[in-house]
Chains A and B, each alone.
Chain A
């Protein structure tokens, strides 16, 4: 019984949606644009997603997946460095617990949707499900690396290693500057499980 009522509600909704384009076409172009955005088909969406490729990604899209000949690596790095935004409170954040969660939540076996560092790196010895794509970050905070370098690496790894397989998570807005600073804090904290 409930199912039928629910289905009815959906049909109603479907009609509403179906009626919208005609109504909105008559309005100002601005409103039309809005409606268009809502109505993108999955095909159009995917097309846009691919068209979002930036010129640096394009440069790296060759069979070697590295910087191709004819493109100056130092210029590439400089351009990438210029995209890095720093947080107001400095590159070492205060919320170490949040940094750990973004790096890889120990409560979820080291998973984290946005940071997901364990996909490629090992670190906290308690997290066994870790990849071997990047170097192990065990003891990272004891290596005397400038936290600013760490920040830049996470924000835009291509500022240090163009076309790297390490994603530019700050550059793409997947991680906010403050969040990256918290990850840096977690990585450089002497009490962090990475450094013990």
Chain B
């Protein structure tokens, strides 16, 4: 924990003036330079995740009990090296398609003695700065570094969710008539206020997620990214107002996983390099 904070502030001290003074188009090179200097604040999350991976849960089991030391598997089973490259995918033991966040939650509650009904635990789990979800996702994802994204869509549930994701991508809805496709397909390359709009589908951005974002000074999983993008829609239940604003889809929901599946399938063949580093 301490390590993470220290490293972050060290990089920020150098990074702050960059963010302020340099146009965003140029920023990635500067961030790359930081990377070359070995100053990647995301690595602290990976380290924290590795530690958590080997820490026993309430029933005495750790992730490593089943998935092996450093996720290398036990007797050739449940090896996590390369697992992230094929996610989201269907899992028989939970009978659903899961992304990395959802899969980790399932393992913790199903196999390690953590309780889904324990509000305190769930809050800690969902939390951006919590000790479980983001560090573990960053760590597990990093075990697929250098490998090609390879989402298959073999299972009927995967196919169905993929279709849902594609539909959601283009779905105009909410008080601003937005869709993912408006900002990221039609307007890709344009600037919304000062932020450049990327094309996550064409550019296979999934290869660098989870990513550390300087703007918010924290690591984001793709769940965080997708859910936050929905805030711009101004969705509502009855009539849009500050009170009736439906900001985000719930975490671990099919809506989120469907969009992830759509984008990750589009990123097939791209080489995973995480944690990413973004503005």
B118 to chain A, nearest CB (A): 14
Say if the beta carbon of B191 comes within 8 Å of chain A.
Answer: yes
Q: Which of these, A46, A53, A129, A168, contacts B253 with CB under 8 Å?
A: A46
Interface-centre pick from A40, A48, A49 (highest chain B CB count, 10 A) = A49
A102 to chain B, nearest CB (A): 15
Residue pair A49, B236 in contact (C-beta under 8 Å): yes
What mask results when residues 151 to 188 of chain A are scored 1 for a CB within 8 Å of chain B, else 0? 00000001000010101110011100000000000000
Q: Take A49-B235, A133-B190 as given contacts and tell me if A57 and B173 are in contact as well, using a CB distance cutoff of 8 Å.
A: yes
Residues of B within 8 A of A50 (CB): 171, 173, 235, 255
Residues of A within 8 A of B237 (CB): 40, 45, 48-49, 52
Say if the beta carbon of A62 comes within 8 Å of chain B.
Answer: yes
Residue pair B234, A174 in contact (C-beta under 8 Å): yes
Residue pair A174, B240 in contact (C-beta under 8 Å): yes
Say if the beta carbon of B6 comes within 8 Å of chain A.
Answer: no
Say if the beta carbon of A191 comes within 8 Å of chain B.
Answer: no
In Å, the complex CA distance between A186 and B190 comes to 26
Residues of A within 8 A of B250 (CB): 41-43, 46
Residues of B within 8 A of A61 (CB): 167, 170-173, 179
Q: Which of these, B170, B173, B193, B249, contacts A119 with CB under 8 Å?
A: B193
Q: Which of these, A41, A43, A60, A132, contacts B177 with CB under 8 Å?
A: A60
Q: Which of these, B172, B190, B194, contacts A60 with CB under 8 Å?
A: B172
In Å, the complex CA distance between A45 and B244 comes to 10
In Å, the complex CA distance between A45 and B246 comes to 7
Say if the beta carbon of A120 comes within 8 Å of chain B.
Answer: yes
Residues of A within 8 A of B179 (CB): 61, 65
Q: Can you name the residue of chain A whose Cβ is closest to the Cβ of B246?
A: A49
Q: Which of these, A41, A129, A167, contacts B193 with CB under 8 Å?
A: A129
Say if the beta carbon of A130 comes within 8 Å of chain B.
Answer: yes
Say if the beta carbon of B182 comes within 8 Å of chain A.
Answer: yes
Interface residues of B in 144-182 (CB under 8 A from A): 167, 170-179, 181-182
Say if the beta carbon of B239 comes within 8 Å of chain A.
Answer: yes
Interface size on B, as a range, is 20 to 34
B170 to chain A, nearest CB (A): 5
Q: Which of these, A40, A119, A174, contacts B192 with CB under 8 Å?
A: A119
Say if the beta carbon of B187 comes within 8 Å of chain A.
Answer: yes
Say if the beta carbon of A118 comes within 8 Å of chain B.
Answer: yes
Q: Can you name the residue of chain A whose Cβ is closest to the Cβ of B174?
A: A49
Residue pair B175, A131 in contact (C-beta under 8 Å): no
Say if the beta carbon of A29 comes within 8 Å of chain B.
Answer: no
Say if the beta carbon of A63 comes within 8 Å of chain B.
Answer: yes
Residues of B within 8 A of A57 (CB): 171-173, 177
Residues of A within 8 A of B235 (CB): 46, 49-50, 52
B136 to chain A, nearest CB (A): 23
In Å, the complex CA distance between A65 and B181 comes to 8
Residue pair A173, B186 in contact (C-beta under 8 Å): no
Q: Which of these, B176, B187, B246, contacts A46 with CB under 8 Å?
A: B246
In Å, the complex CA distance between A159 and B211 comes to 41
Interface residues of A in 45-95 (CB under 8 A from B): 45-46, 48-50, 52-53, 57-58, 60-63, 65
Q: Can you name the residue of chain A whose Cβ is closest to the Cβ of B170?
A: A61
Residue pair B193, A46 in contact (C-beta under 8 Å): no
Q: Take A40-B237, A46-B253, A49-B246 as given contacts and tell me if A120 and B175 are in contact as well, using a CB distance cutoff of 8 Å.
A: no
Name 28 A/B residue pairs within 8 A (Cβ), A-sorted: A41-B250, A42-B249, A45-B246, A46-B246, A49-B235, A49-B236, A50-B173, A50-B255, A52-B173, A52-B174, A53-B171, A57-B171, A57-B173, A57-B177, A61-B170, A61-B171, A61-B179, A62-B170, A63-B170, A65-B170, A65-B172, A65-B179, A119-B192, A131-B191, A131-B193, A163-B172, A173-B175, A173-B239
- Ranked 10 nearest A-B pairs via Cβ: A49-B235, A172-B175, A167-B176, A57-B172, A49-B246, A42-B250, A53-B173, A48-B237, A60-B172, A46-B249
CB within 8 Å of A: which residues of B? 167, 170-179, 181-182, 185-187, 190-194, 234-237, 239-240, 246, 248-250, 253, 255
Known: A131-B192, A165-B178, A165-B186. 15 other contacts (CB 8 A): A49-B237, A52-B174, A52-B237, A58-B172, A62-B170, A65-B179, A118-B193, A129-B193, A130-B193, A165-B177, A167-B177, A169-B175, A169-B176, A172-B176, A174-B240
